[in-house]
Chains A and B, each alone.
Chain A
Amino acid sequence: MIFEQLQNEVTAILARYPVKRSALLPLLNLAQAREGYVSEPAMREIAKLLDLTPPQVFETVTFYTMFNLKPIGTFHLQICKSLMCALVGSDDLVAWIKNQLDIGPGQTTSDNMFTLSVVECLGSCGTGPMMQVNDDYYEQLTEEKLKRIFDDLRRDGTCSLKSGPFMYPESAAK
């Protein structure tokens, strides 16, 4: 019962909408943030909370690419392969990552650290190549940067190279 410990969040989410079903994506996001993926028990619980049938929840979940239906590694590497990133070298980095981590898209390293996904545009095309790792963006990637990101994540669980509030180019005044 994952939502039992999240009563406050659930109440706050439900209060935003006049129609309960609108809370579906926020609750799924919450479940995934909690468990790393959207489990079947979570979907059943959400269905109950929102007066939906489990299939109504499932049909919605499967439409959206960000929901993982299976557990994944600690860090979900999502590297963009769309045209703008590809123009500045994302394909080479994808190949490099596959080689370094010895996994392909959809696979997880044997230590359960990294899961790799090759994804479509993440809205950061001027600072490509780029990837998202869990909630964070990493931009203007190079092999050296990737190396450091993987090392830091393995060691510290976080990496200071992640993007802050976005502005590019940075203002000349700075």
Chain B
Amino acid sequence: MAQYEKILLKNMEQPGYSGSLKEYEQAGGYQALKKVLKDFSPDAVIDAVKKSGLRGRGGAGFPTGVKWGFIPKDHPGPKYLCCNADESEPGTFKDRQLMERDPHQMLEGMVITCFAIGAETAYIYIRGEFRLGAQILWRALDEAKAAGYVGENLLGSGKTINIYVHQGAGAYICGEETALLESLEGKRGMPRFKPPFPATHGLYQKPTVVNNVETMANIPHIINNGAEWFASIGSPPKSTGTRVFCLSGHVKRPGNYEVPMGIPFREFIYDLGGGMRSDKPLKGFIPGGASAPFLKPEHLDVKMDFESVALAGSMLGSGGVTVMEEGTSMVWAALRLMEFFYHESCGKCTPCREGSSWLVQTLQRIWQKKGRQGDIELLEELCGNIAGRTVCAFGEAEVGPVLSTIKHWRHEYEALIQEAQVALPPNKELPVFSH
């Protein structure tokens, strides 16, 4: 099996590494920050990150340096950085590990980011359930403050950068960046219309950058080793660096694995993950979190980079790979995911609020063998009326599992509906789902 050099998980994989400030420093921690304060202008940091090719690890894959470049330089008032630690895309559990095992890595990345965009205040928006993660981050912040890496007069530079942990309270949508900002302002977490974008009108209507935990964790390494080094890893020019991919489902060894972007799914699932947990072969997999359309065994040789997965008709998304073995009903899987989206729809946009409920009801009756002729077409029509018609990308996300399972496993839907026709008299009004 190929061995890959770790970047983000390197420290925590050392025996006994606890993530304390002392250990982080011993491993070379906060050298990047010192280097930045000594040798870099804010623009030089932004340039380095642009050159590195780093793209956001939260899901959308937007080039990080470009995003920072949108922050107006001459803005007189405060600017903000928000680190997105909401991690609630089903199938994704990497940020939790990055925060709990090596918190200073992301904190150092955040301080450097604040320097680059001219922010004096940053918030870590962490999902409410991650109590332990929040505690660990607060503790790490205390250590960093005492050592002068965070707070007033940072390492004697005269700069002030304060970082606070802000705990959410259970709402998937708060991972969407504008909903996150609303939630951080103490409101219902409902996404905002874009434009204007957070870069000009973000937190408190001030210029704001929102970046994922893993994105932040990469920054110190880019500064330490250079943009060219980073740009040479993975699948250049468009998917550079490593990613911490999360593996779940019917595999022998689920978990987090850091690999250069661009290795094939086959290697990831079978070499790193040990392959299927039983003797049943693989039936399908989700390549990038619950929002990513399903793929089939024929896609196992697709490379795990942004472009290749998009070409295969899905997305690399949050990096959560979920594997399903033969015998798993794909109608059931779609229903289970749809229940999630129905539960989590924030209710702002009618197509998503009403559509998610219709999708769940229709999927449920098909699954319960009470489906009607035309239900597949109904699902497709509903999906068509949701995607692209909502304020945020949740609309596209929720139709992915439904449309892709229909595309790849239509016969399973048809068989269940067929069974219903045999069991039930035609045209009988059927009870609908209640939650």
A160 touches B (CB below 8 Å): no
Residue of B nearest to A19 (CB): B204
Stretch at the interface among B164-172, B392-400, B409-417: B164-172
> What CA separation (Å) do A87 and B167 show in the bound complex?
29
B338 to chain A, nearest CB (A): 10
- Contacts between the two chains (Cβ within 8 Å), count: 170
Residues in B with CB closer than 8 Å to A28 are: 169
A125 to chain B, nearest CB (A): 4
What does the 1/0 interface line of B323-366 toward A look like (CB < 8 Å)? 01000100001001101100110100000000000000000000
Residue of B nearest to A67 (CB): B169
B235 touches A (CB below 8 Å): no
A1 touches B (CB below 8 Å): no
Indicate which residue in A18, A86, A136, A169 contacts B204 across the interface (CB closer than 8 Å).
Answer: A18
Q: Residues of A within 8 Å of B, CB-based: how many? A: 50
Stretch at the interface among B126-134, B143-151, B303-311: B126-134
> What CA separation (Å) do A88 and B339 show in the bound complex?
18
Known contacts A82-B90, A125-B91; A22/B96 CB under 8 A: no
Residues in B with CB closer than 8 Å to A63 are: 171, 188-189, 346
Tell whether, in the assembled complex, residue B188 and residue A59 are in contact, meaning their CB atoms are under 8 Å apart: yes
Tell whether, in the assembled complex, residue A86 and residue B166 are in contact, meaning their CB atoms are under 8 Å apart: no
Tell whether, in the assembled complex, residue B101 and residue A166 are in contact, meaning their CB atoms are under 8 Å apart: yes
Known contacts A24-B186, A83-B90, A87-B324; A166/B96 CB under 8 A: yes
What does the 1/0 interface line of A1-44 toward B look like (CB < 8 Å)? 00000000000000010110111111011000000000000000
Residue of A nearest to B335 (CB): A83
Residue of B nearest to A162 (CB): B132
Q: Which positions in A face B, CB cutoff 8 Å?
A: 16, 18-19, 21-26, 28-29, 50, 59-60, 63-67, 81-84, 86-88, 120-128, 132, 135-137, 163-169, 171-174
A21-B187, A126-B93 given; 4 more Cβ-contact pairs under 8 Å? A121-B89, A121-B290, A125-B254, A126-B246
Q: Which positions in B face A, CB cutoff 8 Å?
A: 12-15, 18-19, 78, 87-93, 95-97, 100-101, 121, 127-132, 136, 164, 166-172, 183-189, 204, 246-250, 253-256, 290, 320, 322, 324, 328, 333, 336-337, 339-340, 343-344, 346
